[in-house]
Structure 1
Amino acid sequence: MAQVVAMNPHLSLDELNRVAQQRIQERNHRPEADFCGLTPTQMNNWLYAPFNQWAGVTVTTPDDLSYSPVMGYLALILDEALQQEGSFKATSKGNLPVKLVKQACDLLPEFAVGKFDIHVSINSFAGVNEEKFIALHYTRILAEIAGIIYRRSGRFHVKKEAQKRYQTQGVNAFFLPMLEAAVTKYNWGYLDGWETEVDLRTFWLFMLWRLQGHASLDQLREEVATAFPDVLRQFGPDDYFPPIQQLGLLIESRFIERFLQFWGFVTVEPRRFFTEEPVPRTAEIQPLLTHTFQFSM
């Protein structure tokens, strides 16, 4: 602006403001290498626009949701309620009944994560009760947040409107409401021991776009650290892992394992070492992800 004034000393304040706005608009619409080619305007939209109002992104409900653990578990919950006039009894701790938990366990071979031989004691997709069945518990919490079910007087109830939608449209009717609850309302720090205040939900769409493009967790970690360098400053001192590695572990825990895998969007080899050699941290992109999200960048 100093150069503009020097070359045009008679410009009025309004004229200078117009020049400034033009320069700002040019900068905001210029692709940035640190954003992997996104413009600041595009990134701002992805960070702060309301759900499903993102520029360059189309979100579609897939026709076949049978490969999604979350949607499969939700269908079990809704079926159980409709078989009993809209509600069913909770356990004394307020959890889903053991009968339903067993039915949810039986679905594991139908999901992509079923190919991994993980013992039931540490498997998020199985358990003897809801408390030990992390993916099922996650689904129940999301269904409550999304306003599909609620608990009252020791019973789980499906809202009347939700019953009608399920009977006419099936579980597909709740795909977008559940997804919106997962990325805007659900606390991603729930169920883990991380003390950091880093909220990965802020840039989940950016991470999804990058992961869909290259499937590398290591590259994703570097791209997030480059685009959002202030994130690294939110990690405290650690005797074993520097901030960049802590970020990578947090992304894999909260974004990959307890979001994308729960939904059936990706799978990741749970083993970190094979014959003492580290296993590359690579996501296997599932058809459900590409059927749901289309990026036109």
Structure 2
Amino acid sequence: MKKIQFLNFLILSAVLLLCSCGTVKNVAYLQNSDSINFDKSRFLYDARIMPKDQLTISVNTTTSDASIPFNLLLQSEYTQGRAVSSGSGTLMPYLVDNDGYINYPIIGKLHVSGLTKSECEQLIAEKIRPYMAETENPIVTVRMSSYSVSVLGEVNAPGSYQVSREKISIFEALAQAGDLTIYGVRDKVKLIREDATGKKQIVTLNLNDANIINSPYYYLQQNDIVYVEPNNVKAQNSKIGQTTTLWFSATSILISLTTLLINIFR
């Protein structure tokens, strides 16, 4: 009986060795943070407007009639596309075209691509001021209503995430996606980015290295895609998972045959 138990133990150990694939390395983020100079990271990030962005623009003035032409509501059976004062309905979004322009009421085409939100607000305020009384000082508010990033691969909740603050770091994006799974490769995270001219690039980021905070890719732009590839453990487990039933069936048969042979020749 002891021989049978010992043999069964050896066979089970062999199966476990086949199912195991090594240890997980480089799990911790920002491992060398004590030795990094973060002076380069001392700046406030401002997202820049890009083609295909949707902007919500509202104008407020001391005299409500002065802002009416510059606040257009979404067309409905009630408004029928009328211009009304802000705060009385849903403002119409402005789509930035491929050349970086929006078509703004009265002013016409305005080039806004490449501007920050505050720069765009200042530009619009300057353009509309001549159409108002000299005592008016219009307050313009611009919001990027289509700011989103996507996180794919070895994360707990992959998907596309809306960014209401118009600012998000790669760690914040991964937190939105439930963080990396234990199988995610932390030192080879891929960032896919398209610039204002349509040029694409793929950048590899190392989340283990604290220098990422000084990287120009630390903050994500709108429509960025973050991809976390699986490590070798996940790849091998995937192969094993496809044949797990066969392995256990074969193991069960082998144990049964071994037990039978020992009983016969005992």
TM-score between both structures, scaled by the size of structure 2: 0.24
Higher-strand-fraction structure: 2
Higher-helix-fraction structure: 1
TM-score between both structures, scaled by the size of structure 1: 0.22
